[in-house]
A and B are shown apart, each in its own frame.
Chain A
Amino acid sequence: MLADILQYSVNGLMVGGLYALVALSIVLIVKATAVFNFAIGHLMMLGGLFYWTFLEMLGLPVWLSAVLALGLAAIVGAVIQRLTLHPLIGQPPMASLMVTVALMYLLHGIAVMLWRGSIMGLPSFVSIQPMIFGELTVSRMFLLSFIICMVVFGLFVVGFRYTKTGLDMRATAEDHQVARARGIKVDNMMLITWSVASIAAAVGGILLGLRIGVGPPMTMIALKAFPAVLVGGIDSIPGALVGGLLVGILEQLAGGLIDPSLMEIAPYVVLLMALIFMPHGLFGLKRIERI
């Protein structure tokens, strides 16, 4: 029993790493532009599909395919921001939210148009043989995905903290007017934020694609990062990490110990609980509203 709990917790941690990365992508955009990006799953899918195209269709090496896919994802993110969300600055927040919901359909249509909507398997570059530590078995794929997620997460956090652009992004997130007064080009910062968030999503897409193949079903898995965001707090980067891992672990525990089909909805039950009992999440800022 105890071994089971440990095993499922480790599995959950591995899955949660991915949720944390996707949650980071969402939190970045929320902080800088106050838009919650529903289309994150489709950005992930596009990243994975770019990678598949470079790797399988053009036969490029893995590292080059990954770099090109991430670069293309950044451009897609910037284009989306400029074309669809930039005109809505100053409009009610629900308008931007609905645009990202509509983007789900738009990007799905584009993906089906260009890639036929079938599930593309990505060649794995680690052996399928799991690693065994005592009673624990850990799939190499999961472990690699977890490590990459954590490294990328760490890179983003370091970039935020110690680079000039990161500082500008944080200033933009804090207050657009103050940032403008300090000479920061807020429009450009929003563009960069979307690019960076798209890169994070694309990394997530490639890693998820290695596990389940790249295709429309992966967008539904990306939605499980929403509970992670809300549990952690919608505007908190540490919250994204804690929330992601927590949701991953709870999902695997519920699925493993109670009923496997519960894995599909456990994150949403967590989401509902979080909304009812602590709407601001673990680390989120409480905003006081005035009339």
Chain B
Amino acid sequence: MAVNRPCGVFNETYAEDMAIVRTRFQWGLMIVSLILVFALPAFCASRIMYMVNLIAITLIAVLGLNILTGYTGLFSLGQAAFMGVGAFTSALLTKYLGLSFWVALPCAGLSTALVGVFFGLPSLRIKGFYLAMATLAAQFIIPWLFIHVRPDLTGGTDSLLVPVPTLGSIEFNSQARMFYIIMPVTLIMLFFAKNIARTGIGRAFIAIRDNDLAAEVMGVNLFRYKLLSFFICSFYAGIAGSLWAHWMRAILYEHFLLMQSIWLVGMLIVGGMGYTTGAVLGTVFIRLLDQSVVYIAPVVEAVFPYWVGSAAAAIGPFVFGLVIIVFIIFEPRGLAHRWEMFKASYRLNPYSY
């Protein structure tokens, strides 16, 4: 948004024109916030670090979904199942083959990406709602495979214990320690997600989203780019799944069901499809909303005795559904759009434009 550029800052080279971080103040802000982020474990309780880790891992999955749904316009209801593929790949590789976590992480990403491409194959002939159906099928078939194919390896309906990642003599066995794996990976994934959209690939994705027939006429190879989009999306899911496995240290097929997939899509909708900022805002917003339900539920139970024991189970889905519907009807471009509007109005104050 050209309108958002600081007053008096001019671009003299193309590199400056492309830059995301452009002024000295922004550089300073970025460095300070990075230092603050990495200092978090020093002054946060383990419970809060759990929340931060959960948000970071979810964010990776939502970023992948943003590339598929937000940029390429392909709708997916199977992101949680793909996360499951990554989680189980990583768990099986480290547990039975004795590979280190650092090798298993990219392997999980790649294997999930291949599974994603397989389920993306129908996307050449179908799109929109039909593709949602294809990924829905994936969402049911994949967890079934976890349970039934090799229950002796994957634990079947029981949870599978996952080894702790190690680096030299350091064991990443606490929330604060895991944070130092999860956060750098998340930042790297965020960096790539932000930049993929700005490359030729990203522009091809956006062309497909806006009108796939027109994109094809203009020379975008639809099949290739749709599969590439699935590849990237599932790669993100696989990385998220691998981190999830080594962070929870016990994985179960129940973590990767349809309802979790819908949560991820909901986060993207609330944040704003097609904005990397949106993925971040939406993930943080929904996770915090979900967490606040945990605190509100006992209050509700105290006021209405009828709901003792079921308040959290009722309020959580109710609020989540309501928030998504409200956002789709009243703010379809999500929190990211609101944030852009806010920035613009701040910069232009006191004028309206």
Contacts and interface: CB of A to CB of B under 8 A. Distances in A.
Interface string B119-152: 0011001101110111011101100100110000
Q: Which of A93, A110, A279, A289 counts the most chain B CB atoms within 10 A?
A: A279
A94 to B, nearest CB: 6
A291 interface: yes
Nearest to A105: B321
A93 B318 contact: no
B214 interface: yes
A230 B313 CA distance: 32
B97 interface: no
Interface string B193-214: 0000000000000000001011
A272 interface: yes
Given A104-B321, A230-B133, A109 B126 contact: no
A276 B121 contact: yes
A153 B41 CA distance: 61
B70 to A, nearest CB: 11
B328 A88 contact: yes
Contacts of B136: 223, 226, 268, 271
Chain B, interface size category, equals 35 or more
B322 A98 contact: no
Contacts of B213: 289, 291
A249 interface: no
B211 A291 contact: yes
A94 B332 CA distance: 11
A276 B310 contact: no
Contact of A102 (B130, B133, B328): B328
Contacts of A259: 148
A272 B134 contact: yes
Nearest to B124: A276
Given A97-B132, A106-B318, A265-B144, A272 B122 contact: yes
B211 A98 contact: no
A275 B310 contact: no
Interface stretch (B14-22, B59-67, B228-236, B261-269): B261-269
A103 B258 CA distance: 14
Contacts of A36: 129
Contacts of B211: 291
Contact of A84 (B130, B315, B329): B329
Interface in A73-112: 84, 87-88, 91, 93-95, 97-99, 101-110, 112
B321 A94 contact: no
Interface in B252-299: 258, 262, 265-266, 269
Given A101-B262, A269-B141, A276 B122 contact: yes
Nearest to B214: A291
Given A106-B322, A275-B126, A87 B329 contact: yes
A194 B82 CA distance: 34
B317 A108 contact: yes
Interface residues of A, number: 42
Contacts of A109: 314-321
B227 interface: no
A122 to B, nearest CB: 21
A99 B262 CA distance: 11
B145 to A, nearest CB: 9
A265 B139 CA distance: 10
B324 A88 contact: no
Given A109-B314, A268-B140, A104 B122 contact: no
A104 B262 contact: yes
Interface string B100-135: 000000000000000000000110011011101110
Nearest to A106: B321
Nearest to B125: A279
24 contacts: A84-B325, A87-B329, A88-B328, A88-B329, A95-B328, A99-B325, A102-B266, A102-B328, A103-B325, A104-B262, A105-B317, A106-B317, A106-B318, A108-B321, A112-B317, A113-B310, A113-B314, A117-B313, A223-B258, A226-B136, A269-B141, A272-B122, A272-B137, A276-B125
Given A99-B325, A265-B140, A268-B137, 9 more contacts: A36-B129, A93-B128, A102-B324, A105-B320, A264-B140, A265-B144, A271-B136, A272-B137, A291-B217
Interface of B: 75, 77, 121-122, 125-126, 128-130, 132-134, 136-138, 140-141, 144, 147-148, 211, 213-214, 217, 258, 262, 265-266, 269, 307, 310, 313-322, 324-325, 328-329, 332
Sorted nearest first, the 8 A-B pairs with minimum C-beta distance are: A109-B318, A106-B321, A105-B321, A102-B324, A109-B317, A112-B314, A113-B314, A268-B137
